[in-house]
Structure 1
Amino acid sequence: MNKIGILMDSDLEKRTVSRIKKHILPFMLILYIICYIDRSNFSYAALTMNKELGISSAAFGLLSSLFFIGYVIFEVPSNVMLHKVGARKWICRILVSWGIVSFITMFADNFVHLVAIRILLGIAEAGFFPGIVYYLSYWFPEKERAKAISFFMLAIPISSVIGSPISTWVMQNVQWMGLSGWRWMFCIEAIPAIVAGVVTIFYLVDDIDKAKWLQSDEKAWLKAELQREIDANKDKMKSEQMSIKDTFKYPIIWQLTFVYFCYVLGGNVLMLWLPQIVKGLAQSLSLTSIGVFITIPYTIAAITMYIWGRHSDIHNERRWHTAIMLLISTGGFIMILASSNVILRFVALIITILGLYGGYPCFWAMPTVFLAEEAAAVGLAIINAFASFGGFISNNVVGILMGRYGVNSVFIFLMIFSILGFFVTIKLPKEKVKSIRSNVNDRQGA
């Protein structure tokens, strides 16, 4: 290809990717912010709900973990359905159904009600995250994927930055009709999910040819680029022929699952227990102050997540970028355990959260290197579903540890899995992850 052709192709690539980013990523970010606000608001409700309904630490741990029963069981079937009926319809279904279940939570009057609601919420939300990652993989070339995922996953820390002060403010200030603030919090925060579900059906498209916001040459370039990547990656070509049963037998799937399992253990514990941990560190804080306080580590985590995802794309490297963040979270846990000073422990908590969230985009850029088509949809669901079982384990274990041995035992428990996750990550097949780099270099040399 001559220089003029290369420049024209480069301009077309930049223009196409820019249009995709502007049209898809902000909307996906909003959807995932809504998702995590609805998932994490249970942790803020605990500040007053537990006392009102007579729920102990162990019981709250069980309730937190029950979400993952339906989530794990229905994750793979949900993603299979997404692949068959299309992302637009299925993501709409997920959003509306979890919004309705979240709304119903305001009427819970006892432990049994919450048991049923938490299981239903997991069933309703199953398939959302891996479905979005799968959807992004069919719009973004491999070298842009970690950046795209990092932008999308900014929703996790941003949801805490937005949701923490809103949730705690509503709980403290809204007691309409004689109902507790935590009940109105569930009601108010469920509405955006239902509205967003309706918008999704009109906004998303299921394939490139239906994207009216792309020009014909941009559509042609994107389809050709994605197909070129599939053709260049023999493992992907092989995975296209995998049945669902074969995907379950693919060894790398289970290595990736364990790595994400380690991330989920720490991330879910902090998401669901952080308000109570912060309250324990500073008893004098009001509900609203706790919400504002929690925005600090998540704001720093959001910035780190985006920068680290971009760094991973620039260097076309995923494995070590994922592993280093697990090492940082391990260091944060050690600092928490080594210090008795409240300020130093809070700084260490910031480092821990930074590590647990900073590696997400780099990790989720790896699975689609190994898998394509339906195998990718199923593989992503397997990783997310079985790793999310860590949420079931961690919240039950943490509830028991908190009640019997105190918060330090929780940090030791999480630190062990951060270390294990680091070692499993660096043992992932180097040559397969490097295929991203070689594919990019091949194109540049063409």
Structure 2
Amino acid sequence: MKTGTRTASWLTAAALSVSLSVSMAAPAALAADTSREASGVSARTESHGIDARQAATLKELKARLRKAVKAKRKKATAVGTATTRLQALRDAGTAAIFTYQGASVALDEARAKHAAAKAALDRTQGLVANEDALWADLRQRMTTAEAGYQPLRAAYDAAVARRTELQNAVQALRTQRETALANQNEAAVAASNVQAEIAQAKDALNAARADEQRALAYVEDCRLDFARRQAQWDDTRKRNGHWEGLRNGTWRPVAGLDDAEALLERAVAELRAAESRVADVLNHLNQLDAQLTEIQTAIQHWADVAADLGRQIDGYAQPLADQDAAVASASAAMDAYYAQHIDPLHKEADQLRTDLEAAKANLPALVAAEKPLADAVTQASAALAAATPAYQSAQAAIDAAELVLTKARDALGKAESKVKKLKKQIRKAKSRR
């Protein structure tokens, strides 16, 4: 840029010197055009100066581009060399790396197997060693859980007892009601029997009254017959004058009259007997009516008693329903507590018993299996230690080569960027010409 500036200044000074010489040598006739020619010469001189500067700049840019391209090629060569060396080191270190990685994986696997076996052994030994403490802790927690369960159990028992009390009261009322209904039914049967007896008594009364009527009619017939016979006899006595035997009442008429009188007496006796039977039957009927009335009163009494007991039983329905709900609620609370606090402890006890039995059975095998696995870890560690130096050496060389390659690539990138930048500047300079 400095060379271009100096060249442009020299060209400008030469142009001005020529212009002044021409101006001084021109004849007088051309004096009027001097000013215009001076202006044109000045413009051309400035244009020539700008072109010279741009040409110098473009030349300098191209020179720098050639230098940058050479530097880029050199950097690319360095990258290729570094890449080749890195690949060679990787190829050379592959066996050492694979050996190290295999030993590392083997060590990890051996450690994992040994850790699992050691954990199982420690867990089993700890379980067997702490058996008494584990059972004591479980018993303590069970005691605590059962202590919390007892109030719920007591509440449930109280609710059941109250329900049983109500049920017993209802059962007693039902028994009394059944007794009342049985008494009512028994009285109804007795009333039916008495009604049957009354019907029979009425039939007997009708029969007795019929007998009485027949006896009364028969007495009347006998009386009329006796009166007729006596009248006949009296007429005969009057005619014959036989009156002596009638004065003292000891004399009687002849056998026909005596038979009529005896027949009348028997008829009267039968009438009295019939009347007595009617009276007896009527008295018995009255007794039956009184008995039926008493039985019907008893039936109504037992019906009232049964109805009252039924109302009392119905009155227990809601308290019983409420108490059933209380029992169900207490049972649910008890079951929930048991399921949450006690049943898990029983399951834990079963599991602990199973685990202890398995631990005692498996402990010898676990002890025997742990030692070979520990030896395998030792052997794997030794193999890894043996493979480590070669691995570290190969890896260090590879890391160094990778660093060199990275730096070479960075330098190549910068060189490529510089070339691109210079090409862009050249294109821009060419577009301005």
Q: Could you state the TM-score of these two structures normalised by the residue count of structure 2?
A: 0.19
TM-score in terms of structure 1 length: 0.19
Larger Rg: 2
